Amino acid sequence: MLKIDLRSDTVTRPSQAMLNAMISSPVGDDVWGDDPTILKLEAMVAERFGTEKALFCVSGTQANQIALMSHLSPGDEVICHPYAHIYNYEGGGIAANAHASVTFTGDNRGIMHPEGVLGCIKADDVHYPKSRVLALENTSNKGGGTCYEWEEIEALRAVASKHGLTFHLDGARLYNALVAKNQSENDYGTAFDSISICLSKGLGAPVGSVLLGSEEFIHHSRRIRKRIGGGWRQAGLLAGAAIYALENNVDRLAEDHAAAKDMAEFLAQQSWVKNVVAPETNILIFGLNEDMDQEAFIATLAEKGIGISQMGPGKCRMVFHLDITPAGIKKVKEALASI
Ligand SMILES: Cc1ncc(COP(=O)(O)O)c(C=O)c1O
């Protein structure tokens, strides 16, 4: 078993305090609409973001895919970044679930820009797919936990509004961006038509994501969630963990960001490291010199009980989260220094 698991922030275990919150959460049957803790979570997140409604979902993938199925008709097109999780890591869901096509634009930090988006929008011509959804990811996972400036979001919102595109945000790690950039939940809730947020990443809940949007959109999304088997019953136990995470684990994300920055500085001093992407939040991406084998490097660390992951060639990834202690970081540095 990996003792220091930097593969992802999805690996966190619920703390004793979170477990206590879970077992003391009253439950009902959510398909019947009467699980009080789920209702409380959905109302709480909708209030924070100023959206009409929220829907508690099993995972970030499920929340994104429900949103896309809700927004898209067969033959429509999604404009997203080539690094986008919705395209690369959701099992081909855009095609399989929404029967839609995809087109890409964006820079090597995982960030999209208005001029690129404008270049993707198709004329209304029977030859082309119909440009329908503009989907952002903040923070960008494959980009290295990078975040948008608020002005960039506003500019993209303006493009979406002008061209009739639905504006979706994969906000799996939106709270990291909010903390790093000191941005407001309410601004995001106003700018986007739909947002998915994960509670089970840096916020430390064992399971769960929330999808946000208008009453009509969430009503439709609830139907889709049921259709794909995501109608759950006494999941208030999980909503209890999510509420605990939102009440206790947001501000501390800054500690993970500081840990990623500190490790980036350490890695930059190692002779076998080719490049380090300066981290903006809790994700640290770095590449190895040509004479180093990426898979063997990851395996060597795993033998020492240290888990890291990769996102393609030249992209080793460490993700910092609430189960990574200062003592663990010291051990990781010792192991890296001995490479
Ligand atoms: C940016 C992004 N979106 C969505 C997801 C999907 O979340 P889940 O693993 O809960 O399906 C992830 C998971 O790592 C992610 O990084």
Atom of ligand 1 nearest to the CA of 61: 11
Answering whether pTM is above 0.75, one says yes
Alpha carbon of 170 to ligand 1 centroid (Å): 8
Q: For ligand 1, which residues put their CB under 6 angstroms from it? A: 10, 59-61, 64, 85, 137, 141, 170, 172, 198, 200, 209
pLDDT digits (tens, 9 = 90+) for 221-271: 999 999 999 999 999 999 999 999 999 999 999 999 999 999 999 999 999
Answer yes or no: CATH 3.40.640.10 is held by domain 14-248. Answer: yes
Alpha carbon of 172 to ligand 1 centroid (Å): 6
CB-CB contact of 204 with 22 (8 Å): no
Alpha carbon of 338 to ligand 1 centroid (Å): 33
Task: Report the pLDDT averaged over residues 9-37.
Answer: 97
Alpha carbon of 51 to ligand 1 centroid (Å): 22
Ligand 1: which of 61, 80, 147, 207 to mutate, most ligand atoms within 8 Å of CB? 61
Looking at ligand 1, which residue's alpha carbon is closest to its atom 16?
Answer: 141
Mean pLDDT of the chain: 97
- 4-10+252-337 has which CATH code? 3.90.1150.10
Confidence at residue 205, expressed as pLDDT on a 0 to 100 scale: 98
Q: Is the pLDDT of residue 2 over 90?
A: no
Q: Is the pLDDT of residue 1 over 80?
A: no
Alpha carbon of 60 to ligand 1 centroid (Å): 5
Alpha carbon of 143 to ligand 1 centroid (Å): 14
Looking at ligand 1, which residue's alpha carbon is closest to its atom 5?
Answer: 60
Confidence at residue 312, expressed as pLDDT on a 0 to 100 scale: 87
What residue segments make up the domains of the chain, in order of their start? 4-10+252-337, 14-248
Task: Report the pLDDT averaged over residues 2-18.
Answer: 95
Atom of ligand 1 nearest to the CA of 58: 10
Task: Report the pLDDT averaged over residues 79-87.
Answer: 98
